[in-house]
Amino acid sequence: MSASPSRRSVIGALGAASAGGLVTGAAVPAAADDRSGPVPEGLRPGGEFDRYVAAEAAADEFSGSLLLTRGGRTVLARSYGMADKQRSVPNGPDTLFALASVTKLFTAVAVHQLAQQRKVTYGARLGTYLDGFPSSVADNVTVHQLLTHTSGFGDVHMLPGYQAAEAGWTTPEQTMKGLVDLIRQSEPGFQPGAGWAYSNSGYVLLGAIVEKVTGMSYYDYVRRYVFAAAGMTRTRFLTRPQWQAGRNIAHPYYPDGQGSWTDGVPEARYVVGDPAGDAFTTCADLDRFGRLLWRGRLLDPGWTPLMLSGKVPLPPAPTAPTGDDTGVPAQALFQCYGPVGALVSGRWTFSHGGGSTLGVSTSVEVFPETGWGVVVLSNYAGALVPEIASLARKLITAGR
């Protein structure tokens, strides 16, 4: 089967819907290191959450790894299914999973690091950093809008000519240049700042800005100043040949027309991921990143609250049903500078999800006021990961 843009297209974060005016509303709570009190029964090994995921895995609906932590301590860690069905390699705690759009959190941290160094300004226009865009774009689109999905740009992977162009890219450098060139030829879908639309193109441009102001490749910068700074020793960008050959790297699977799981790596025609998606990591590395970010360890004082405060109000997202009223509606939902902030049962959570029809589905969520972290990484296509994350959220916020 030939590759199609939709198989490369990445699913957006929680709350993907259009929204209007920009505000800075959602406050950022102080991070907690809550190790006091018993772990709610439903989140313990053998509890409601554990049983639900095990049943879905037994039915071959879930394949992947998950990690629940509180105050940095492991509460529950599980792995199910096969990383590589052909070679009978099981998923495990050290398996690397493609992250899809969760990668945008790394790009956002890189931009904030450069902002605190006064190399990037949130209100600066795109033309300040990147050449070749028409004045209608260069003089109007801002860094703020790129970070908040309000630039009007959409998905570069869906642009005309993308498939043909990517077939000729053989290096990360060609990938970045080629993606930016495609975006230069596109038009925003609405006037910058006039709405909200999930934007892979916007985060590719943020990665290009990182390259411009640092003189480094995007990949080198995030490896040195994001992954290494967070102690994410397993996290990296991998080329397609590495993805194909590595025994500890989960192959993505999607259901074919006969209901069998089909390996998506051969259809991933791109040579490497980009600032909008598909770095590779483990549950432990992503949990560490979340804890350090939300505890203010990756940015200077004052910059973490800036990153995590609400910028764009989003309509409430539909909760993911898990069969027994497990969805938890958010009382307020905001696009922040990277993640989505949700007020749930009176407490703020910050999350990002991602996926592709190739067979990638991922979610990370942090609960700063109570010290909980939830990471779910799957190599199966489908909507089950949001359902799993939703059940964890309900049990955490209910304390049961």
Q: Is residue 232 part of a domain?
A: yes
Return all residues near 268 (Cβ < 8 A) that are at least 6 apart.
3, 7, 8, 240, 243, 252, 358
Question: Strand, helix or coil at 256?
Answer: coil
CATH number for the domain harbouring residue 42: 3.40.710.10
User: Tens digits of per-residue pLDDT, 9-46?
Assistant: 433 433 333 333 344 444 555 555 555 578 999 999 99
How far apart CA 14 and CA 348 sit, in angstroms, is 14
Q: Is residue 8 part of a domain?
A: no
Identify any residues that bridge with 366 across adjacent strands, giving them in sequence order.
350, 373
Domain hosting 25: range is 19-398
Q: Is residue 183 part of a domain?
A: yes
pLDDT < 70 positions in the chain = 1-36, 317-329, 400
Q: Is residue 26 part of a domain?
A: yes
| CB burial string 226-238: b at 16+ within 10 A, e below | bbebbebeebbbb
Contact indicator for 148, 335 with CB cutoff of 8 Å: yes
The 10 Å Cβ neighbour count of residue 36 is 9
Q: Is residue 105 part of a domain?
A: yes
Q: Report the alpha-carbon angle 99-102-105, nearest 5.
A: 135
Q: Is residue 6 part of a domain?
A: no
How far apart CA 79 and CA 54 sit, in angstroms, is 9
Question: Strand, helix or coil at 51?
Answer: helix
**What's the distance, CA 2 to chain centroid?**
26
Q: Is residue 297 part of a domain?
A: yes
Identify any residues that bridge with 378 across adjacent strands, giving them in sequence order.
64, 361
Residue of 360, 218, 335, 191 whose CA lies nearest to 275: 218
What is the reported pLDDT for 145?
98
Question: Strand, helix or coil at 366?
Answer: strand
Q: How many domains does the chain have?
A: 1
Q: Is residue 57 part of a domain?
A: yes
Torsion of CA 127, 10, 352, 246, to 10 degrees: -110
